[in-house]
Chain A
Amino acid sequence: MQIDLKKVINSKPQKKNIYFSIGIFTALFVMLAVYINTVYFKESKELLSNSYNKQESNLMKKTLRGSILSSDGTVLAYSRLNADGSQTRVYPYGCVFCHAVGYNAFSKNGIEAEVNYYLLNTGDSVLDRAQKSGEGSLADGYTAVSTLNTKLQVLADQALGEREGAVFVTDVKTGKILALVSHPVFDPNNIEEDWDYIAENDSSPLLNRVTQGFYPPGSVFKIFTAYEYYREGMDYESYGFDCNGYFSTEDYRISCFHGGAHGHVDFETSFAKSCNSSFANIGTSLNDEEFKKGLSNLLFDTELPTGFYNRGVSVSSYDISSVFKKLQTSIGQGDTSVSPYHINLVTMAIANGGELMVPYIVDSIEDSRGLTIKKYHPESYGKLLTDDESMFLKELMRAVVTKGTGSQLGSDIYEAAGKTGSAEYNNHGDSHGWFTGFAPVDNPEIAITVIVERGGTGSESAVPIAKQLFDLYFEEIR
């Protein structure tokens, strides 16, 4: 061994740099480890729902997919272990909850998609698992408890019957979704067998009409027009209009529904009796720029807030670029499109003193012993309206029930408020029936939005459904 001593150099700085290298790479490894944990804790739930992820089939070897319950404890979905080790998903209510609970097949939707991670994972202890494995069964996945109310949902489904449309019931104080019905339906029990038929059906049963529907709002829109009139500081108390069945300006003409004349109406009566001519008149007095601002306050042209899994919610749109379009928009016709979900959000906000609670559908996650491991909490979106604005609209909507198109909702046990609509969808005067409203007026609890496609007027088609739901809620559930 001969080392040329002259070449053995003073290596102080080298040593320092070696230590520094240790530091750099140790830091890189620590960052990597932290990153891996962050990905695991933050993204694993989302990644598990990716349709390319085959992890689910591995988990299904160990875990029986968890059940989904309604808020009252009824089983809405559960899994059965077959002799060959595969699992069958069963929906005891068949089509009734198909859009709310969703389905679990080659793809997923609804609650099945939202809490997929929990349904596939287990909270069973090692001993429980060993015992179950000894008995030839699997560990139990977590149970998801939804906010849905079985009675309201079943009734809404029955009341809509064979007709196409949507019913959406929410708790205005928390944002809990109590019922979500969209017709036509499909049977989630057989979705794989029926897939081709369901996917190609012209009436689109897979479409969730509550969130993805796109309808002209008709007279329901008068809530927005009235809001804007009030917001612009107009003198609504001394407003008056003589209705002889139509309103005309320049070369345009707006008629009342089926040409009926309302005589002399004040602001409240115009709203209650849903006088198109008067509202066209009101529309002309609105400032274009302010109108746009007001509509965007009430979530037009806006991504709607959601606290649940969805495949995109329709963004509502309008067009007031010409005088005639503005007139039509004021009464909810023209190029105006909304989803029932949007109308319900605005109704909830009005009912809740202006504050919008974001709708959600999963209440909690429980393990197989019934212990809650995760609780979903109400979340506020903020105030859409001021106290005064919400009070103003509440009174108008109450008048619809006391002396207007919603008089069928009169009841001894509750005071409802709302707005009807008959949204024409062709040039022959055929219309979809709308209703949106809440009760009780003094201290609102629930908001109901109904649309019946091709149902005629709102009073004929939508109001009776809302009536049944209000009755059920205040007589039995509350």
Chain B
Amino acid sequence: MRFILPQISNYILAFLMICYAVLALFDFAVKKGTGKSVIAGCQNMCNIFIALTGFFHLYYVTDKAVYLLICLGVVVALLMMLGFTKLIYRDSNRLLLNNMSMLFTVGILILSRISTGKVLRQFVVFLISLMVSMAIPLIFLKINFLRKLTWAYAGVGLAMIASVYIAGEVIHGSRINISVFGLTFQPSEAVKILFVFFLAGMLWDNYKFKNIVFTSLVSALFVIILVISRDLGSALIFYVLFMFVVYVSSGNSLYLIGLIGLGAGFSVLAYKLFSHVRIRFIIWKDPWSDIDNKGYQIAQSLFKITGGGLFGMGLGNGSPRDIPYVETDFIFSAIAEELGIIFAIGLLLVSLSSFIEMMRLASKIVDPFYRLVVYGIALSLTFQTFLTVGGGTKFIPLTGVTYPLVSYGGTSMLVSMVMYYIVQAVYIKLRKETVDNALKPFIFHKKPDRDRNNANRFKKGN
């Protein structure tokens, strides 16, 4: 048994991850009620067992007790998040909560494998983010003028990214970070939320052509500042957000087609104008001819993804640190190396499940402002996941963005959690209002059965 445990832990981990992912997708087929609770419970079990198996494996192969400590920390943190959220907000969405805790678990597991020194900081960031995020649904329930602050979002957002361009630290040719009192922030991450609110504020009640053009001009300012700051990943996310939010709010497919064409045109222009855009593209086409220098990262990342096999090298058996910036931009490659491709694909499915759940929610909200907010957030999180995984696997050019909730990094963690909790807030708000507001039929689309059930449940509860 002693020798067999480290040999099979990876099969267990892959199995648990696939179970979790299948449950997450199966959840969509199940109607509300006990079925959903059972699924959520099973997911929590999978999640806890992944943490236990992973950290015990690490403890076993390295003999370092610190892994047991981290394991305890993870379990406590997860119980705190799941417990407090459910306790304070009875109506919160369980699937999204579970997915958050899963992504966080995997992130901490692989981070503690890469560098135990960074785990404590990540924990602190997590707890701060959790405290901030827990307040969000409360704020949303009390405040109703969010849709009126459109110009504040745009102004503050533009000011933030412009300040980075002017005063930011230059790291590898990009201006992304800004330091205040010794703490480093990545404002473009946070501005994403403001941008989503700006778009929603602009477009929720007015999707005439003139207004859309006006919105486009402001959005273009955001994107241009990001491109000249060489924060190409964020620039791309902002453009895609703009494109899809216009598409959905207007209900007109022509906008999507037109904006995709426009985006392609801008990409060609950026390719011609900026050498850093050209370099990204050239490395993507052929990292091998400059493997010593610019192609090094992506080549190492490919080695890791293909080197671990379907079930991975086993935690502790790989060498994720061969990839520079593995813990932020290439976390997926490290996961694929040590935990295997099956596990890594499972992780992608978890992200996809969050996306679909958020989108489903967006489709049920009648209030167009919140609909666009939820839609924008779902899009932002998902497209960023696509960029980081696609970039690390050479599916698309590398843009150097983080994996939401998985990657190491304070701003990324805080912003991702806030985004999840904003969606939770809208969910909670609307569920509350569904039952005690006269506007009931306008909040959710008419689904008489479900509404009646909800109403009944509420009555019983009182």
Q: Does A302 contact B (CB under 8 A)?
A: no
Contact pattern, A 18-36, Cβ under 8 Å of B = 1, otherwise 0: 1111100110110111011
Choose, from B315-323, B397-405, B454-462, the stretch at the interface: B315-323
Residue of A with least CB distance to B10: A126
Distance, CA A17 to CA B375, complexed state (A): 11
Q: Does A386 contact B (CB under 8 A)?
A: no
Do B395 and A1 touch (CB < 8 A)?
no
Q: Does B304 contact A (CB under 8 A)?
A: yes
Do B317 and A61 touch (CB < 8 A)?
yes
Residue of A with least CB distance to B340: A40
Chain B residues whose CB sits within 8 angstroms of the CB of A106 once the complex forms: none
- A17 with B248, Cβ < 8 A, contacts A11-B366, A53-B303, A126-B7 known: yes
Distance, CA A3 to CA B303, complexed state (A): 54
Q: Does B442 contact A (CB under 8 A)?
A: yes
Cβ of B60 to closest chain A Cβ, rounded Å: 12
Do A18 and B375 touch (CB < 8 A)?
yes
Partner of A36, one of B2, B345, B351: B345
Do B2 and A14 touch (CB < 8 A)?
no
Chain B residues whose CB sits within 8 angstroms of the CB of A134 once the complex forms: 2-3
Do A8 and B7 touch (CB < 8 A)?
no
Do B386 and A29 touch (CB < 8 A)?
yes
Do B442 and A3 touch (CB < 8 A)?
yes
Partner of B306, one of A2, A47, A133: A47
Contact pattern, B 348-359, Cβ under 8 Å of A = 1, otherwise 0: 110110011001
Distance, CA A130 to CA B389, complexed state (A): 34
**SS class, residues of chain A in contact with chain B:** helix
Chain B residues whose CB sits within 8 angstroms of the CB of A62 once the complex forms: 313-314, 317
Do A54 and B303 touch (CB < 8 A)?
yes
Residue of A with least CB distance to B291: A52
Distance, CA A57 to CA B313, complexed state (A): 12
Chain A residues whose CB sits within 8 angstroms of the CB of B379 once the complex forms: 21, 25
Contact pattern, A 161-204, Cβ under 8 Å of B = 1, otherwise 0: 00000000000000000000000000000000000000000000
Do B7 and A133 touch (CB < 8 A)?
yes
Distance, CA A400 to CA B356, complexed state (A): 79
Do A14 and B348 touch (CB < 8 A)?
no
Interface positions, chain B 18-45, Cβ under 8 Å from A, are none
Distance, CA A33 to CA B363, complexed state (A): 26
Choose, from B126-134, B153-161, B249-257, B415-423, the stretch at the interface: B249-257
Chain A residues whose CB sits within 8 angstroms of the CB of B248 once the complex forms: 14, 17-18, 21
Residue of A with least CB distance to B308: A55
What number of A-B contacts does a CB cutoff of 8 Å give? 160
Q: Does B393 contact A (CB under 8 A)?
A: yes
Residue count of chain A within 8 Å CB distance of chain B: 53
Cβ of B26 to closest chain A Cβ, rounded Å: 16
Distance, CA A26 to CA B445, complexed state (A): 24
Residue of A with least CB distance to B304: A55
Residue of A with least CB distance to B442: A8
Interface positions, chain A 24-70, Cβ under 8 Å from B, are 25-26, 28-29, 31-33, 35-37, 39-40, 43-44, 47-48, 50, 52-55, 57-59, 61-62
Distance, CA A376 to CA B383, complexed state (A): 43
Q: Does A372 contact B (CB under 8 A)?
A: no
Partner of B368, one of A11, A12, A33: A11
Distance, CA A22 to CA B251, complexed state (A): 15
Do B383 and A25 touch (CB < 8 A)?
yes
Q: Does B390 contact A (CB under 8 A)?
A: yes
Chain A residues whose CB sits within 8 angstroms of the CB of B445 once the complex forms: 15
Distance, CA A15 to CA B252, complexed state (A): 11
Q: Does A478 contact B (CB under 8 A)?
A: no
Distance, CA A475 to CA B205, complexed state (A): 95
Partner of B362, one of A8, A18, A39: A18
Do A14 and B8 touch (CB < 8 A)?
no
Chain A residues whose CB sits within 8 angstroms of the CB of B303 once the complex forms: 47-48, 50, 52-55
Chain B residues whose CB sits within 8 angstroms of the CB of A7 once the complex forms: 204-205, 368
Distance, CA A144 to CA B11, complexed state (A): 28
Interface positions, chain B 295-320, Cβ under 8 Å from A, are 296, 299-300, 302-307, 309-310, 313-314, 317-319
Partner of B205, one of A9, A17, A50: A9
Do A48 and B306 touch (CB < 8 A)?
yes
Q: Does A129 contact B (CB under 8 A)?
A: yes
Chain A residues whose CB sits within 8 angstroms of the CB of B111 once the complex forms: none
Cβ of A58 to closest chain B Cβ, rounded Å: 6
Chain A residues whose CB sits within 8 angstroms of the CB of B439 once the complex forms: 1, 3, 5
Chain B residues whose CB sits within 8 angstroms of the CB of A310 once the complex forms: none
Q: Does A249 contact B (CB under 8 A)?
A: no
Do B249 and A14 touch (CB < 8 A)?
yes
Chain A residues whose CB sits within 8 angstroms of the CB of B433 once the complex forms: 1
Q: Does B144 contact A (CB under 8 A)?
A: yes
What are the nearest 7 A-B pairs in CB distance? A13-B251, A44-B306, A55-B307, A130-B4, A130-B3, A134-B3, A53-B303
- 4 further interface pairs, Cβ-Cβ under 8 Å (given A7-B368, A47-B302, A54-B322): A17-B247, A29-B386, A62-B317, A126-B4
Sample 13 A-B pairs with CB under 8 A, ordered by A number: A1-B437, A11-B371, A13-B252, A22-B356, A25-B386, A26-B356, A33-B348, A36-B395, A39-B302, A39-B305, A54-B319, A126-B11, A131-B3
